[in-house]
Structures are given as structure tokens and as C-alpha cells.
Amino acid sequence: MPELPEVETIKNELLPHVLGRKITGVAVFWDKMVKQPTAAEFCERVTGQKITNLTRRGKYLFFHLSSGEMLVMHMKMTGSLLINPPDAKFARAIFQLDNGAVMHFRDPRKFGKMWLAADESAVADKLGPEPLDNDFTVETLTKILRNRKAPVKPVLLDQAIIAGIGNMYADESLYEAKIHPVRPACSLSEVEIKRLYTAIRRVLRAAIKNKGASVRNYIRPDGDIGTAHAEFRVAHGTGKNCPRCGTLIKRIVVRGRGTYLCPKCQPEP
């Protein structure tokens, strides 16, 4: 968290504010958030650069700079990028733009990271396919799952296998596809894989339409929240009932991740 829909929303809503703007100053208040180079050199190299594009890959944001370098950001657990916020609470870095606007990297728990890279490949080459791209097909998902004996949910969460799907959207997708999260990935039938494929894409598209899910710390660039969580069927559903059958939603732990499911609609293998 933020996951693919939240990062896509951040990208879409930041673009009008940052595209073509020059970074006139940078202040970093938590040096450890800068992976490379040093925080001081980072500020020096970014200052004076024009933002020529802003793209997303998985959960990463890439600010394309006029120098040819990429400013890479990962929000991790609690990060947000805010434009002209009313205060600097939890601001770990502030970017000043040539139109007088400021962009805050807000991160209450200080997990977020940013760094400079020569291009996107250093990050992108380590990621799996984008689940909403046209070349991500049922056949692609079938090849991914076919020989993996691990539980299906951790497979969906592995960014090297599929980029961008996080914990809550994996729960929602598996619920919609009526698949238990601990089912071995290789055990899914052709029909189940098709259901899962359709569910992943529908769940992610709906969440993007609703500007992401503000379950905990996620805030959109203008300070508003996303509303995708209002349509969650099982994710973070402690104490709620399944909207299909009325069974109490259950929370289990799968490979260290809190996982929500309907024990009736998603029978345990």
C-alpha cells in the first residue's frame, strides 16, 4: 500500500501539476529515504531539472528529467505525494517548482524511497508484466501459474511475477474468482484461471476509477481520499458478512500476510 491503483492515481493527478515544470529547489528531511546518491548530491542533481514526463511501472513512479536521468520513487507502506498541502506534517522531502507550487513526499512511517537512475530498466527489468496491459492475457497468466506449487496469493503478490497487485487487491480478485488463497497456483483449472484473470483486471480497473483505496494512509495529491475501499467485498472485512452468501468473512495469515476471504464462497482445499 499504495498499490497499482493508488500509484496510477497519483501519477494521473500529478501530471497536470508537474509536466514541463522545472524543479527549483529540493529539501530532504530524512536522508535515509534517498537510496542513491547521497541526499546532498541528490538535491544538487535534481535542482534545475525540468520534468519531461511522469510514468508508472508496477508500484514505482518515474519522473523523467531533462538531464536524461530518472527520479524514481516508491511510496512503500505509507507514502503519498501532495501538491500544495496546508502543512508540512510528515513531509520527508519537499520539491519546489518554477510555478510556485510545492510537492511534498509525505510518509508517516519513513519507509518510502527515492533515488536517481540512468533509466527505467534498472527497476522495470526486475518486474513481471503489467496486469492491465494488452499483452497480459489469459495465456500469460496460465504460463505464470502452471508450474508454481506455492499458494496462489503469494504468487500474485510477487512483483517479479506480476507487477502492481498488492495485498488487498489480491484478496478481492481471489474472492471474485471464488478461489481460496492457499490453493497451489498449479492446481487451478482452466476455468478458474479465466475467472481469476477477469477478476484481477476488473478489480484493478474499478479501483483506478475510484481513485484508489484510502484504507489507512493513502492520500491523493490534492489531499482527498480515494473511495475504492467502499466497494471492497472482503478486503479488510473483519466483522463483516460476505455479500454473496452472508457468511462471516474470515481472516487468515498466508505467508505472513493478513488475508481476507469467505470460507463458503472460497472453499479451503
Catalytic, out of 11, 21, 56, 59: 59
Catalytic: 3? yes
Degrees (nearest 5) of the Cα angle 144, 148, 154? 85
Catalytic, out of 3, 6, 130, 172: 3
CA quadruple 149, 151, 153, 159: dihedral, nearest 10 = -40
Residue 75 C-beta-side C-alpha neighbours within 13 Å: 33
Quote the CA–CA distance of 129 and 158 in Å, as a whole number: 11
Which DSSP state fits 60? E
Amino acid letter for position 150:
A
Residue 246 C-beta-side C-alpha neighbours within 13 Å: 0
Catalytic: 59? yes
Catalytic: 120? no
Catalytic: 250? no
Burial letters 197-217, b for 16+ CB under 10 A, else e: bebbeebbeebbebbbbbbeb
Distances in whole angstroms, Cα of residue 118 to Cα of each of 68, 105, 189, 192, 215: 7, 22, 42, 41, 34
Quote the CA–CA distance of 91 and 106 in Å, as a whole number: 4
Catalytic, out of 2, 131, 151, 181: 2
Query: Quick one: which of 132, 128, 139, 130 has its CA closest to 199?
Result: 132
Look up residue 77 and give its three cell numbers. Answer: 507502506
Catalytic, out of 110, 148, 250, 257: 257
Instruction: Identify the three-state secondary structure at position 166.
Output: coil
Helices 190-209 and 167-177 pack at an angle, to 10 degrees, of: 130
Catalytic residues: 2-3, 59, 257
